[in-house]
Amino acid sequence: MNEPKEFNQRVRVYRMKSGQRFVGFVLLTFGLFFGVAVWGGAITGAKEANFLEMMFPIAFSLFAGVFTYRGFRNSVHLSETSIELRCTSGHKELPFDKIKGRRRYLDHGDENSPSVWHLVFEPNDDRFVKIDIEELYRFDDFFCNWLNELPDLDALDKTRPKTSNFGLV
């Protein structure tokens, strides 16, 4: 039903955009440089050792390391039979014949994080997990064409009649 046409590879792999990886490296480099500066000053005796100042570069470098690892580890796999999300938090797979449709929503960021669009593949069977993918991956035309062939559940929801329980007690 939703299988891609003319599948010329066993598995198509989509990785995170280069910007995600680059930002991770910059943050990690900054954290390590800051750590060397703070810890170097404390070790040489040029600066008084403060616990909070000593731990901040370590915590920042750990955060940046996880962010960088995530940028290189996360991937979306489109095979002949299913779509699969492999990420640091686990592995989710949804066979093509179990896809009910797709949704798209904007996760509004706050002052510290940007807004990010998400693609959601909903299953037609409760035994399968919903796949929620941030649009931070380098998708090609093949993926976009396959995606556009799936039923758009957001558009279908707009055309369905709305039931209301307003006023019922």
In this structure, what are the phi and psi dihedrals at residue 112, rounded to the nearest 5 degrees? -105, -10
pTM: 0.72
The total number of structural domains that make up the chain: 2
Read off the pLDDT of residues 91-123 as tens digits, 9 standing for 90 and up. 999 999 999 999 999 988 777 777 888 999 999
Q: Quote the CA–CA distance of 25 and 139 in Å, as a whole number.
A: 22
Domain assignment present for residue 164? The answer is no
Domain assignment present for residue 168? The answer is no
Q: Are 25 and 68 in contact (CB under 8 A)?
A: yes
DSSP H or E run through 149: helix 141-149
Read off the pLDDT of residues 13-72 as tens digits, 9 standing for 90 and up. 999 988 888 988 899 999 999 888 888 887 887 778 788 888 888 899 999 999 899 889
What's residue 114's pLDDT?
79
pLDDT tops 60 at residue 8: no
What's residue 40's pLDDT?
84
Read off the pLDDT of residues 126-137 as tens digits, 9 standing for 90 and up. 899 999 998 889
Domain assignment present for residue 166? The answer is no
Residues 24 and 79 in one domain: no
- The answer for residues whose C-beta is within 8 angstroms of residue 144's C-beta and 6 or more apart is none
Domain assignment present for residue 78? The answer is yes
Domain assignment present for residue 39? The answer is yes
